Amino acid sequence: MHPSDVTGLKFEKVSSTDKRYVQRVLQAGSTMNIDGIPIIETTAITQGDFLVGAFNKALILEKGGITVEMGRNGNDFRENMMTILAEWRGEVLIETNDTTCFVTGTFSTAEAALETP
């Protein structure tokens, strides 16, 4: 979930005229769970969208090893600074049979579907 959506899930406005927020979801430790399902904050998901899945069905493959480059630029030597670039290339593979293990959607569409009889 997007960090803004997670914040909206954690807190709720007291009223439309009151600007105070009340915490709605208790969090133990650094991982937030709802019914045993961990919620991961990431900006890779756009605000208002979600991705739910059995992530043990996704396989991470390494396309290349880790490369680390170090260098100086301009006046970095005088200012005792160094630029470090680290890169890893990989891909996520989901087999055709397992594509139904992942569900994406928007919160507004899911709410509307839950409210219609």
Specify if 84 maps to a domain: no
- Reported as a single tens digit per residue, the pLDDT across 14-44 is 676 776 666 665 556 667 777 777 888 889 8
CA distances 77 to 17, 51, 83, 86, 104, Å, are 56, 45, 11, 20, 48
Considering the domain boundaries, does residue 7 fall inside one?
A: yes
SS3 content of the chain, % helix, strand, coil (to 5): 20, 40, 35
Please check whether residue 23 lies inside any domain of the structure: yes
User: Is 69 inside any structural domain?
Assistant: no
* Residue 91 forms part of a structural domain: no
Which domain range does residue 34 map to? 1-42
86 falls in which pLDDT band (50, 70, 90)? very high
Nearest CA to 71 out of 87, 57, 82, 59 is that of: 82
**Domain assignment present for 32:** yes
Give the chain's domain count: 1
- Residue 89 is assigned to a structural domain of this protein: no
